[in-house]
Amino acid sequence: MKKLPAFTLGVEEEYQIIDPETRDLRSHLSKIVDGAKTFLNEQVKAEMHQSVVEVGTNICNNVKEANTEIRFLRSKIVDLAEKQGLIVGGAGTHPFSKWQDQLITDDPRYHTIVNELQDAARSNLIFGMHCHVGIENREIGLQLMNQACYFLPHIFALSTNSPFWEARQTGYKSFRTKVFDKFPRTGLPEYFDHVASYDKYLDTLVKTNCIDNPKKIWWDLRLHPFYSTIEFRICDMMLTVQETMCVVAIIQAIVAKLYKLTVANTSFNIYRLALIKENKFRAARYGLDNHMIDFGLQKEVETKSLILELLDFIDDVVDELGSREHIDFVHTMMKNGTGADKQLAVYEQTGDLTKVVDFITGEFTKGL
């Protein structure tokens, strides 16, 4: 049996910077980013809102390396925030902060986005986790993107961690995706038959001044325009490192399994986006509870059952990737609930959103 490629990983997380007294989001005035650059270089970046810090791993050969890096990055940002009298949390939205109160980072890139998108950009106070999986051949990468689209709602359901928005219980397990829907070029990716047609699409948007660079395709999954990766962008920022690494390991295994099928000329079914959108909505609304649609059987199935089917699907590549320990944590996630379930439980017990923030910041450092 031919050995699988490495399927290198890059993981990006977006952190909430929080005032420990008010528990509100707070601008760090670039001090955390500037402090981190002395030893993290380009691994830490400012985001559009000054209360957000984005970190990214180096290129990792496997999930174990990515796990070590994410733990290191979380620890360093916590230390730097503490020196500024601030704390750090991980969730897709802040439970009660208002976007109108947040400062925009003074950077030409963000000024351009705000100038074009106005309040859609100003109100985009959300936090995600992105995972790059290395694919050297862009043509194969595009095929894998087309096929992996089916699994995006499954991955998304596991990551749901944004039930509150501006002090309201939204009724969604992930309201983050609803906020981001206001942006253009978001949501599930279009189907492309060849890289040439994908590149032509990007070129057309740039030439016609729809975008100034191809990175402004903000789909849930994209063949990266500059790196040899496919990038999964659908996930909420998760509470703990364990949750993040479980989802990252599942993403990598999905890509590896689809690659294995593709090179054996046994491609996975490609379903209409209109159908996959139904599952994405259900994942956003209910997380792991309730049902999603099994399109092969054409019936509703419990979401947790579909997750178990996904685990069976990827099982034959997991050991070669060395990620079984991380993937097995999914059983704990399905038993204990996602970040959204846990936030809602704290609120139900206390009726106090500041206690929800305390929970989010407490979980952020768990296991570091």
Note the pLDDT tens digit of each residue in 330-356. 999 999 999 999 999 999 999 999 999
State pTM to two decimals. Answer: 0.96
Residue 197, domain member (yes or no): yes
Please tell me the predicted confidence (pLDDT) of residue 131: 98
- pLDDT per position as a tens digit, 41-89: 778 888 888 899 999 999 999 999 999 999 999 999 999 999 999 999 9
Residue 1, domain member (yes or no): no
Please tell me the predicted confidence (pLDDT) of residue 368: 81
Residue 4, domain member (yes or no): no
Residue 33, domain member (yes or no): yes
Q: Is pLDDT of 304 > 90?
A: yes
Residue pair 31/105 in contact (Cβ under 8 Å)? The answer is: no
Residue 259, domain member (yes or no): yes
Q: Is pLDDT of 4 > 70?
A: yes
Residues 17-37: b if buried by 16+ CB within 10 A, e if exposed: bbbeeebbbbbbeeebbebbe
Mean pLDDT of the region 30-49: 82
Which residues make beta-bridge pairs with 53? 15, 46
CATH number at 84 reads 3.30.590.20
Q: Within a 13 Å sphere around the CA of 368, how many CA atoms are in the beta-carbon half?
A: 20
Tell me the C-alpha distance between 41 and 123, whole Å: 29
Number of domains in the chain: 1
Q: Is pLDDT of 3 > 90?
A: no
Tell me the C-alpha distance between 31 and 237, whole Å: 22
Q: Is pLDDT of 1 > 60?
A: no
Residue 333 sits in which domain range? 9-364
Residue 3, domain member (yes or no): no
Tell me the C-alpha distance between 152 and 279, whole Å: 9
Task: State phi, psi for 314 to the nearest 5 degrees.
Answer: -90, -5
CB atoms within 10 A of CB 99: 19
Residue 2, domain member (yes or no): no
- pLDDT per position as a tens digit, 156-178: 999 999 999 999 999 999 999 99
Residue 264, domain member (yes or no): yes
Residue pair 27/51 in contact (Cβ under 8 Å)? The answer is: yes
